[in-house]
Chains A and B, each alone.
Chain A
C-alpha cells in the first residue's frame, strides 16, 4: 500500500468521520478517510436520524443547538435522498410534574433564543391527534428535524471526496498513533494529524478512551402518512439516557418522509451481540403503544439494533488525546451523533488549525476524562 502524503487521516466513515473529513477538506487539508466497512457501517446506518436540541447539560445544549443551526444552514444543499424534514420535536408531558419540567425547558431554551412553544393538552391533541388521551401537554421545538442517516453520511463523504479527500473503505485498521494509521494488511497511512472517529469501536484503536457500547433497538413500520407529524419524545427520555447501569426504554418515535414511523428507544450496557433482545424490545414497544395506542395495530416490518458510543458524562470527546500529540478524537456521541456531527467537525478542525470556536470546547476535550473515572458506576 502506498505511503501517500496527507494532512489528516480519519478513521471511521460514519456521520462524524464523514463530517470531519468534509470540514477538513473545506479548509484545504488533504484528507484520507478510512473505514473497515462501507460508509456509516456502525451506528450511523442504524441511527434514528434525529436532529434535536437536548438540555441534559449546558454543554450538551450548546453543542446540539450549534449543530442544529449548522444543519439548517446546510439544508438547501442537501440532496433529496437525505430526506431532511424540519418536522420539529414535541417533548411530551404525561402529568403536571412533567409540565413543570416543560416550563423549565421553555425558559432554558428561550434564554438562548431557541424557538419553543408550550403546548397545553388541547394544543397537543391538535398537533398530534393520535397521542393518547389524558396527556398534560408538551414543549414544541419547531426547528428540530429528522433525516435519513445513511444518505446524509454519504453526502458528506462525497462532498469531501469532491474536494480531494481519498476514501479508503473495507480496510481494517490494526493500530493508530504517532502520526500513523497501521492497517491489518500491513499497509499504512501517515499524517501529522490522525483522528479516531470510530464510534463504538474507538477504544479498540485507542486504549484508554472512556467509551462503552450502548445497545439500542429500533422498529420501523409500513407507511402511515399523517399518523405521526413531529418527532415525539417523552420527558423521561433524559432519565433513560442518563442512567449508566440499567437497561431502560423511553418513548421516542419519529415520522420518516416516507410516512413510515420509526419507533425507539432502548438503552442497554454490557450487551455485546447485535441480536434482537425480545425482552427489551417488548418493553420498548409497550411504552410506545402506551403513549400512542394507534401504533399497536401498525405493521412493523423491520427491527434492528445498533451500538451507540457512550461516555461517562454523556458528552462526546472532541479534541487532542493528551498521550499522543498527533492523535485527535471525535467520538463518544451516544444518541446525538447525527445531531452534533457538524458541530463536532467544526470544533475538531478549529483545534487542529488553532482557530477560534463558536462555542467553548473545554467540556468536550478528551483531556477531561481523568476526572470522569467515578462516573462509570
Chain B
C-alpha cells in the first residue's frame, strides 16, 4: 500500500533551483524550520543542475549551506495537489508525502517554450536546456555535431556547456535581430557581473558561428534527426547535424501558484514588494514572477525567505538590488521577443500536441483552447498542456483553461489519500479564487 510521509514546516519551499535554495537558506538562517522539495534527484533546478558537487561553483556554496542550517530536502518529489488549507501532497517513487506549512514559498521556475515546425518531433530534436540537462545526466556528445537554435541567453550558456563536453557546435541561430541583440548587449554595460559572464562566454564560444535573424524551418531525417533547414531572411541553408537543441526562451511554471489561488498578471504570478502572492501565506520568487535570470532569482528568493520567516527589515534591505536586476529583466523581454515569421513555421500536417498527435491543420479550425481540447484531445495528455499550451498561445492566441488537480500526473493511489480536514474547510480553502 501507500507509504506515507507527513511533515510540518515553518516554511516550505517548492522548487530547488536558485530562487528556492536562496529562500530556504534565508529562512533557515532566521531560525525557521524549513523544508525544500524538488522533482529532480539533486537540488539545483535547471541552471544549477549538477552543480551541487562542483565545489568551486557559487551554486554549491548555496546548496551545501542548506544542510548546515537544518533544511530538510525532499528530492525526486513532485507536488501534485493541495490537500488541505496549508498542506500539499507530493509524490516520490515509493511514497506519498503530506507537507504542511505555516508559510509557503513557490520557486517553481520556468520551462522552455517549444514552437512546432516540420520535423520537430524527430528524436534528437529537443530543447536547448534539455540537451544540456541530458548531457549533464550522462548523454555522450563528444564529437557529435550540434545545432543550437531558438532564442534567449540560454542558447549561449548551452553552447558553452556542450562545447566543454566535446560537442561540435555547427551554428547558433538566434531568431532575434542583430539590432535587438546589439541593444541588449549594450544595456549589459550596467551590469558588471553580466559583462563578466558575457566576456567569459565569448571566450568559451570563440570560433563558433553565431547568426542572428535566423531560425529553424524544418528538421529532416529518417526516424532520427539528420539535417536541419534554417532560414535567414529570404536565404535558406541546410546543415547536417546529430542534435538540434532548440528552445524559444522560457515560460513560467505557474500551475501550482494557480492551483493555490495566486493571482496572475500577463501570465506571471503577481507579488508585492515582499514577494507575497494574493494567496494567504504564499510567497513566490524567481521565474514564475517574471523571467529575469539567475541573480534576480537569488535576490527574490532571499526576500521571500526572509519575509516568510518574519524578518521584513532585512528583506527590505534587498529591495534596491532587486530593482536594479528587474531592469535587466525588462531588457531581456524586449530583446528576445518572438518574431512573426515563427507563426508561419508549422504546416497543416505539423504535429502541435505531441501527446495526442494533433496537427496544426486540425487545431487551427477551433476558436479556443477548450473547444480544441474536447474535440481533439489536444492538451489532455500527460504533459497537461505544458508543451502545446505556450505554442498555441503564440500561434493562435489561445489562453489555456484554469488549472485543476492533479497539477502533474499522479499515481492513482495518491489521489486516494483521504485528506485530514473537515469538509467545511474546503470552501474556505478555495474561497480566495
Contact = CB atoms under 8 A, between A and B. Distances in A.
Contacts of A282: 415-419
A29 B304 CA distance: 65
Contact of B416 (A258, A289, A302): A289
Contact of A278 (B81, B370, B384, B410): B81
A275 B402 CA distance: 11
A300 B419 contact: no
Given A275-B430, A279-B423, A289-B416, A297 B384 contact: no
B375 A151 contact: yes
Given A38-B371, A278-B81, A300-B406, A283 B415 contact: no
Contacts of B381: 301
Contact of A221 (B2, B374, B412): B412
B415 A273 contact: no
A296 B413 CA distance: 5
B411 A300 contact: yes
Contacts of B81: 278
Interface in A259-304: 263, 273, 275-279, 281-283, 285-286, 288-289, 295-304
B409 interface: yes
Nearest to A150: B374
Interface string B213-245: 000000000000000000000000000000000
B246 to A, nearest CB: 26
B83 A299 contact: no
Interface string B405-433: 11001111111111100010011001000
Given A81-B375, A278-B83, A303 B418 contact: no
B380 interface: yes
A222 interface: yes
A360 B376 CA distance: 38
Interface string A47-81: 00000000000000000000000000000000001
B382 interface: yes
B411 A298 contact: yes
Contacts of A281: 415
B95 interface: no
Contacts of B384: 301-302
Contacts of A214: none
B91 to A, nearest CB: 10
A219 B409 CA distance: 11
Given A278-B81, A303-B405, A297 B412 contact: yes
Given A263-B412, A302-B404, A278 B382 contact: no
A276 B418 contact: no
A266 B423 CA distance: 16
| Listed residue (A40, A258, A278, A285) with the most chain B CB atoms within 10 angstroms of its CB | A278
A222 B375 contact: no
Give the most central of A38, A263, A285, A301: most B CB within 10 Å: A301
A38 B369 CA distance: 12
Nearest to A290: B416
Contacts of B370: 38
Interface in B8-67: none
B260 to A, nearest CB: 13
B382 to A, nearest CB: 5
A154 interface: yes
A277 B406 contact: no
Contacts of B417: 282
A298 B382 contact: no
A344 interface: no
Contact of B411 (A263, A277, A279, A297): A297
Given A275-B430, A301-B384, A304-B404, A296 B409 contact: no
Contact of A299 (B375, B382, B419): B382
Given A276-B405, A278-B81, A303-B405, A286 B411 contact: no
Nearest to A45: B374
A295 B413 CA distance: 8
A275 B381 CA distance: 21
Interface string A290-332: 0000011111111110000000000000000000000000000
B426 A297 contact: no
A295 B375 contact: no
B415 A303 contact: yes
Contact of B412 (A219, A278, A279): A219
Contacts of B405: 276, 278, 303
A273 B415 CA distance: 20
Interface in B371-398: 371, 374-375, 377, 380-382, 384
Interface string A186-216: 0000000000000000000000000000000
B416 A285 contact: yes
Interface in A8-54: 38, 40, 45
A300 B375 contact: no
Interface string B70-102: 000000000001010000000000000000000
A132 to B, nearest CB: 14
27 contacts: A40-B374, A45-B374, A150-B374, A219-B412, A222-B382, A222-B409, A258-B377, A273-B427, A277-B426, A278-B419, A278-B426, A281-B415, A282-B417, A282-B419, A285-B416, A288-B412, A289-B413, A296-B411, A298-B411, A300-B412, A301-B381, A301-B406, A301-B409, A302-B404, A303-B406, A303-B415, A304-B404
Given A282-B417, A302-B404, 9 more contacts: A263-B412, A278-B81, A278-B405, A282-B418, A296-B411, A296-B412, A296-B413, A297-B412, A298-B412
Interface of A: 38, 40, 45, 81, 150-151, 154, 219-222, 258, 263, 273, 275-279, 281-283, 285-286, 288-289, 295-304
Q: Which 4 A-B pairs have the closest CB atoms?
A: A285-B416, A296-B413, A150-B374, A301-B409
